[in-house]
Amino acid sequence: MIWQQQSPKQLFPNILIFDMARIVGIDLGTTNSLVAYMKDGQPCVVPDRNGRTMVPSVVALTDNGLIVGDSAKEHLTRNPERTVYSVKRFMGKGLADVQDELVYFPYHVTETGGVIRIRLGQKSYSPPQVSAMILKELKLRAEASLGESITKAVITVPAYFNDSQRQATKDAGLIAGLEVLRIINEPTAASLAYGLQQKTQGTIAVYDFGGGTFDISILKLKDGIFEVLATSGDTHLGGDDLDRVLVDLFIGDIRDRYGIDVSRYPDHMQTVRLEAERAKIRLSDELKTKITIELPEDKGRFTRELTRDQLESLVAGIIERTLAPCRIALKDAGLTPKNIDEVVLVGGSTRMPLVRQRVEALFGKQPHCHLNPDEVVALGAAVQADILSGGTTDMLLLDVTPLSLGIETMGGVMSSLIRRNTTIPASAKEMFTTYVDGQTGVDIHILQGERELVKDNRSLAQFRLKVPPLPAGVPRIEVTFLIDANGILNVTATDMRTAKSQSIEVKPSYGLSDTEVERMIEDSFKFAAEDVTARKLIEARLDAEALIKTTDKSLLEAGHLISEKDADDIRTSLSQLSTAKNGIDSRVIRAHMAELEQTAKHLNVMMLDHSLKKSLQGKKVSEVS
């Protein structure tokens, strides 16, 4: 939520922004994250050197510092207490929201000031900070691949994310040094990719079942307009939950067979979790699979067989839970399954045959995933980034707010101001007054959710509206609630009697305060500078070593071809560089390298000449020319 005090000056600062910097699209996933950009009118995902497009959303603290991605994933079993995964499940949440599932996470989770903190070694990090590390990795990857600095991004979130979760994602971007130009919903991002690449038209349902979240969005695609009709979902329902069913099964088996409680061994718990995930994935292609898990305390190895039927009967209930939001979305859109022209599958969990069967049964048509379900969200984010930078002009996404927005009124009841599935940007105004003479403040409690009672909805923030001390009912304070195109709420207040805007001091119920975010950005830049210095030093040392080695070799082979004085000069420069190499200033090392290159210039010419002659020895003239 953004709180602003509007004054005419702020409304009209005469600044023009000319900016053509590239904007990337980022899918910040529960399990994996990707970065994509628009190239010649087509979105493409940025791969690493090995051609891998997905960065595992894992951060590990090692003796050499924090690492992210594939290398961090290796620490899940080696170093479970210091390896953070699925951090997206904690974004914009308080400890009470996630209490039930903490048992599944080996890392230490606490709460300070309404925000979850994750302990890594001596320090604690908020979920946005951990997400920022993943974003930085993607940023570096894009910079390395594109050869330019990346500072702007579109980041995707589950459509059913509430205001706190969206704000936390925006904070993560800021901490990573990215200006987040737009937060867009994952299923709608996917629809953009389909609209562009498959020229899809008509009414489509996007069923997005990922690692940690489930979304359903129903859209109308017509003449380049992507109008979301309704969206629903569950931000705590994904592949992680499917894995947990298997984890519980294996732990029970091991306990029965070996009398060992694996849950007491965090590293083995991770082995079990990863094996559960792999077995689940294998069973999408195979009918049965074998599970092998090394047991703690040298108790040997646990093996068992698991069939697809067994898996399906275990997870059927979880998959069933995705269908209720689908029915709600259809109802909200005023449609029946017959009205849906196409059903598109997004997210890794849709690879399960049972998921496809259930979706097909509900909509009465075969769902498809012509585009890679792991990549399609990032591709769509890149399309949206291109729209924002003015590249694509024929496509426009009209999204909705997934949850109703309201305020607390007398009796602990929520009164809605903006209903769910309202097209955004959306605004509502509310006039407030007093009911006691001389009252100087009105407390406003902002809520998000669909339930009647305040306690059943999400508290977004509370603030006190300052009211001039007047007889009851006389003050007129107009509060405007505006949901912007990111789905984030902005609030402004105006005293209608004086037409003066007033500042609102707000206490967000969840999430970081502005000052805290600022400090985290500073920290991140400070460490970024340290990181860069360290990297420069390592590179300079390596380069210096290589230069010393080749110069030594040249002296040995071609030293007799230059004057004794030249050779002495080179030896002096060499020893100076050797000393500088052990220092900590990369610039000093580079300076001595330049000096050595200068003094050894003649030697290098002679050396080249010498090796050329050597290679030509014994060859006829005709062979050379």
The residues annotated as belonging to the active site are 27, 88, 186, 208
Residues numbered 1 to 30 that lie near another protein (CB under 8 A) are: 11-20
**Cβ(27)–Cβ(186) under 8 Å?**
yes
- Contact status: 147 vs another protein (CB under 8 A): no
Write the CB contacts of 245 (distance below 8 Å, at least 6 apart in sequence): 314, 315, 318
Contact region with another protein (CB under 8 A), list: 137-145, 336-344, 364-372, 415-423 = 415-423
443 is an interface residue for another protein by CB under 8 A: yes
Smallest gap from residue 17 Cβ to another protein (A): 6
Shortest CB 306 distance to another protein, Å? 39
535 binds another protein (CB under 8 A): no
Beta carbon of residue 173, minimum distance to another protein (angstroms, whole number): 15
Which range binds another protein by CB under 8 A, 63-71, 238-246, 255-263, 393-401? 393-401
Q: Which of 372, 409, 578, 611 binds another protein (CB under 8 A)?
A: 409
Residue 180 token pair: 């987040």
Smallest distance from the beta carbon of 181 to another protein, in angstroms? 6
389 binds another protein (CB under 8 A): yes
Q: How far apart are CA 130 and CA 124, in angstroms?
A: 10
Which residue in 54, 444, 512, 540 binds another protein (CB under 8 A)?
444
Using rule CB under 8 A, residue 79 touches another protein: no
Choice between 32 and 384, CB closer to another protein = 384
- Cα separation, 106 vs 118, whole angstroms: 11
Site string for another protein, 447-486 (x = CB under 8 A): ------------------x----------x-----x-xx-
The answer to whether residue 96 forms part of the interface with another protein (CB under 8 A) is: no
Cα 59 to Cα 73: distance, rounded to the nearest angstrom: 8
Contact status: 222 vs another protein (CB under 8 A): yes
Is residue 396 within the footprint of another protein (CB under 8 A)? yes
Amino acid found at 189: A
Site for another protein, residues 167 to 206, rule: CB under 8 A? 181-182
> Burial of 204 by CB count in 10 Å (0-12 exposed, 13-18 middle, 19+ buried)?
buried
Rounded least distance, CB 527 to another protein, Å: 30
Residues 490-510 as b/e (b if ≥16 CB within 10 A, e otherwise) read bbbbbbeeeeebbebebebbb
- Per CB under 8 A, 439 contacts another protein: yes
Min separation Cβ 451 and another protein, Å:
15
Given candidates 417, 460, 596, 603, which one binds another protein under the rule CB under 8 A? 417
User: 14 or 625: whose CB is closer to another protein?
Assistant: 14
User: Count of residues binding another protein (CB under 8 A)?
Assistant: 58
Instruction: Tell me the one-letter amino acid at 396.
Output: L
Q: If we measure between CA atoms, which residue out of 599, 560, 553 comes closest to residue 576? A: 599
Quote the CA–CA distance of 75 and 144 in Å, as a whole number: 25
3-class DSSP state for residue 126?
coil
Token pair 């995902």 in the structure block, residue: 45
User: What is the DSSP secondary-structure string of 150-213?
Assistant: --EEEEEE-TT--HHHHHHHHHHHHHTT-EEEEEEEHHHHHHHHHHHHT---EEEEEEEE-SS-
CA–CA distance, 43 with 198 (Å, rounded to integer): 13
Q: What does the longest C-alpha to C-alpha distance in the chain come to?
A: 111
Beta carbon nearer to another protein, 464 or 610: 464
Q: Minimum Å distance from CB 385 to another protein?
A: 10
- Of residues 492-531, which lie at the interface with another protein (CB under 8 A)? none
* 610 Cα distance to chain centroid: 56
CB 91 within 8 A of CB 127: yes
According to CB under 8 A, which one of 40, 63, 64, 436 is a site residue for another protein? 436
Which residues contribute to the site for another protein (CB under 8 A)? Answer: 11-20, 181-182, 222-223, 225, 227, 384, 387-390, 393, 396-398, 407-410, 415, 417-419, 422-436, 439, 441-444, 465, 476, 482, 484-485
